Amino acid sequence: MSKIYLYVNGDGWQEFDRSDTEELEKRNITIGNRVKIGTNVTIGDNVYIEHNVTIGNGVKIGNDVYIGNGARIGSDVNIEDDVTIGDDVYIGNRVKIQNGVRIEDNVKIGNRVYIGYYVRIEIDVNIEDDVKIGNGVYIGYNVNIEDDVTIGNDVKIGTNVTIGYSARIEDNVRIGIGAKVGNGARIGSGAKFVSILISGSMHVVSYWGEDRIDIGCRRMPIEEWKSCYKRIGKSEGYTLEQVEEYGHYIQTISDMHNKSLMHISQEDNNG
């Protein structure tokens, strides 16, 4: 039976056999069936670990933590107090999870990820390596965050969003449902209703939740783009395939414009 470290008043962290039910009960710790725990793992008080969980070497688990069924936690992960980790969550190595974080089911978190205080991550989210998430962030369902992304404090990310490699999102940004934030994108503090940012084959396309689309240096209302994108594309030297590519972007934005604003308003009311 593996060993775990429990806190003893006056003596600090002391090693115990994980089958020592008296010491576990004293601290209100529950460890389910078929749980694998590595070496040098510390467990705080009021911790509930469900069945079929795997915990790697050197993991630190704070007080008032819940770890759901089938969760897999890598090595050298630091989980602070009052954290909830849902079923079938995967957490890589050297991850830091601050106090008050809630991670729902089927979330995948890569290596060397930092998650700030009171972050909420909904189901089916994928977070790649070397991502930094600030305090008070909300991440909606089915979001994909690629490597080396930095997200500031109090950012709200809607469902079905993709955030590309090395993007930088500053504090208090709202990212709408279905948004695509391109690789290396920079979104300034307080930007509202960011919905699409695409690195197209010729120019960047951006939609900011208002009745306009920016393509390259041109900014026009959506309907105006729909009526003249072919003429502008030809004048800019686009191929026929590129004209159709940008026509698709414009139509997609047009279709989601009103719906996106409505959904974000609903999320703000529910949040």
Condensed to tens digits (0 to 9), the pLDDT of residues 209-219 reads 678 888 988 98
Q: What pLDDT was estimated at residue 264?
A: 47
Condensed to tens digits (0 to 9), the pLDDT of residues 161-172 reads 999 999 999 999
For the chain, domains (ranges, CATH) are 3-166 (2.160.10.10), 204-270 (no CATH)
Most confident segment among 6-10, 116-120, 230-234, 255-259? 116-120
pLDDT band at 198 (very low <50, low <70, confident <90, very high): confident
Residue 183 has pLDDT above 90, yes or no: no
Q: What pLDDT was estimated at residue 101?
A: 98
| Chain mean pLDDT for the chain | 90
Helix H, strand E, coil C: the string for the chain is CCEEEEEECCCEEEEEECCCHHHHHHCCCEECCCCEECCCCEECCCCEECCCCEECCCCEECCCCEECCCCEECCCCEECCCCEECCCCEECCCCEECCCCEECCCCEECCCCEECCCCEECCCCEECCCCEECCCCEECCCCEECCCCEECCCCEECCCCEECCCCEECCCCEECCCCEECCCCEECCCCCCECEEEECCCCEEEECCCCCEEECCEEECHHHHHHHHHHHHHHCCCCHHHHHHHHHHHHHHHHHHHHHHHHHHHHHHHC
Higher pLDDT, 38 or 271: 38
Q: Report pTM.
A: 0.74
- Say what percent of the chain tops pLDDT 70: 90
pLDDT band at 269 (very low <50, low <70, confident <90, very high): low
Residue 261 has pLDDT above 60, yes or no: no
What mean pLDDT do residues 192-207 have? 73
